[in-house]
């Protein structure tokens, strides 16, 4: 399969305790303290202060006038300086759980785009706070959630008009493997962290879930080796021009002995073309819309492709009578090997690929029945809301 784990709300996912963050910050503070002492001032026994810089003659070579605080146009520094003010840290809290994730300014109306699993703790009457890079915080509400896509839209209760500079959206369909990527987020609560990498792969089917192992969402992801950790969830993945090409959402993790997830260079982002369509739908109606094939898939099937169940499950037909697959002539037990020209390796990959299409679209389907390959065209159905 294609397992993925939510980077989640820091630390370690939306349901983890905050102990890991304390340890990480303590370690950082210790290093910073040591460095500060080495370049600071020494206090003598009589209280006089002596500059440590005078204790030794410097043998370093100055760089002259080549170093500037001004970021070079088009550089990572320039992109980060422009994007950071529009990237926010989101804190979601309920009576039983809390977490920290990331989001970014979607429009000038006060809508913030993020992951569903970031805001889930505050979805039913919890508290939601959005913090900008300058330290200012605002209360917010969940406008709409799409659990299957793992996309959510947050609305600031009192939008600060002077801070609502939407990040430009790129075209994720035109991304190339090897293109530069920049991720911004709050890994383990370390706000406004910038990391870089490349697009490692496209169209990567990923079924992702929380640390309990439950698979809750599917995406045909952009894969990147930019460092993404718990707390990066919902943050922007930018291209080399500073345009958003994806929402950082899941990682393949080498969970440590403590159970906390960590980056191993396998990060996955929801392509922005899909995320934008989902966000626009949530803003308009508050409810997600999904394309559907109207079949029950057999995830116990071990061969290549996605098999339709051979029989009804708890009274539900394997192929819905009159549904999209039934109208296209698909039968129980058929193994779908291609959809829309893309190879389908398993059940989760089938869902990921279906959801790259909109309801009503007609797609080519290749399948195997009784050892023989067949083809048909399916007009996808529509489902509104999460089950």
Catalytically annotated residues:
117, 150, 233
Q: Which of 281, 299, 204 is nearest to 249 (CA)?
A: 204
User: Rounded to 10 degrees, what is the CA torsion of 28, 32, 35, 39?
Assistant: 170
Do residues 218 and 205 touch, judged by C-beta distance below 8 A?
A: yes
Q: Are strands 244-253 and 263-271 parallel, antiparallel or unpaired?
A: antiparallel
Q: How far apart are CA 242 and CA 230, in angstroms?
A: 23
Q: How far apart are CA 30 and CA 266, in angstroms?
A: 29
Burial per residue of 59-98, b for 16 or more beta-carbon CB atoms within 10 angstroms, e otherwise:
eeeeeeeeeeeeeeeeebeebbeebbebbbbbbbbbeebb
Query: Which residues touch 21 (CB under 8 Å, ≥6 apart)?
Result: 10, 11, 188, 189
Do residues 145 and 152 touch, judged by C-beta distance below 8 A?
A: yes
Q: How far apart are CA 156 and CA 149, in angstroms?
A: 22
Helix (H) or strand (E) holding 98: strand 98-105
Per the rule left: phi > 0, alpha: psi between -120 and 50, beta: everything else, 203 is left
User: Rounded to 10 degrees, what is the CA torsion of 175, 177, 178, 181?
Assistant: 50
Do residues 311 and 298 touch, judged by C-beta distance below 8 A?
A: no
Q: How far apart are CA 201 and CA 382, in angstroms?
A: 29
User: Rounded to 10 degrees, what is the CA torsion of 174, 180, 185, 188?
Assistant: 130
Q: How far apart are CA 332 and CA 206, in angstroms?
A: 25
Q: Which of 117, 218, 242 is nearest to 167 (CA)?
A: 242
Q: Are strands 3-5 and 193-209 parallel, antiparallel or unpaired?
A: parallel
């Amino acid at each position: 399969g294609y397992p993925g784990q939510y980077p989640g709300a820091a630390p370690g996912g939306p349901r983890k305790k905050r102990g890991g963050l304390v340890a990480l910050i303590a370690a950082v503070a210790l290093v910073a303290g040591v460095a500060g002492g080495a370049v600071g001032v020494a206090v003598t026994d009589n209280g006089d202060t002596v500059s440590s810089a005078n204790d030794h003659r410097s043998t370093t070579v100055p760089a002259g006038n080549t170093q500037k605080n001004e970021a070079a146009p088009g550089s990572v520094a320039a992109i980060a300086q422009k994007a950071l003010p529009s990237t926010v840290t989101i804190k979601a809290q309920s009576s039983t759980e809390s977490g920290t994730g990331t989001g970014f300014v979607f429009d000038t109306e006060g809508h913030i785009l993020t992951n569903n699993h970031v805001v889930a703790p505050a979805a039913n009457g919890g508290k939601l706070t959005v913090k900008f890079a300058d330290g200012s915080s605002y209360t917010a509400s969940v406008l709409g959630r799409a659990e299957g896509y793992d996309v959510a839209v947050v609305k600031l209760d009192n939008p600060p008009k002077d801070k609502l500079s939407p990040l430009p959206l790129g075209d994720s369909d035109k991304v190339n493997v090897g293109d530069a990527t920049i991720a911004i987020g709050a890994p383990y609560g370390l706000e406004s962290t910038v990391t870089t990498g490349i697009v490692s792969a496209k169209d990567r089917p990923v079924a992702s879930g929380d640390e309990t192992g439950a698979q809750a969402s599917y995406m045909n992801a952009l894969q990147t080796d930019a460092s993404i950790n718990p707390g990066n969830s919902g943050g922007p993945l930018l291209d080399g021009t500073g345009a958003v090409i994806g929402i950082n959402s899941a990682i393949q993790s080498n969970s440590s002995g403590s159970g906390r997830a960590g980056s191993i260079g396998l990060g996955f982002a929801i392509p922005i073309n899909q995320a934008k369509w989902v966000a626009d739908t949530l803003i308009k109606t508050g409810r997600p819309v999904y394309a559907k094939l109207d079949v029950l898939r057999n995830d116990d099937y071990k061969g290549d492709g996605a098999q339709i169940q051979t029989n009804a499950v708890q009274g539900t037909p394997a192929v819905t009578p009159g549904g999209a697959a039934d109208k296209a002539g698909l039968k129980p037990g058929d193994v779908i090997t291609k959809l829309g020209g893309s190879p389908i390796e398993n059940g989760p990959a089938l869902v990921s690929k279906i959801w790259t299409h909109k309801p009503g679209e007609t797609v080519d389907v290749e399948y195997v029945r009784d050892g023989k390959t067949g083809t048909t065209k399916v007009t996808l159905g529509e489902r509104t809301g999460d089950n």
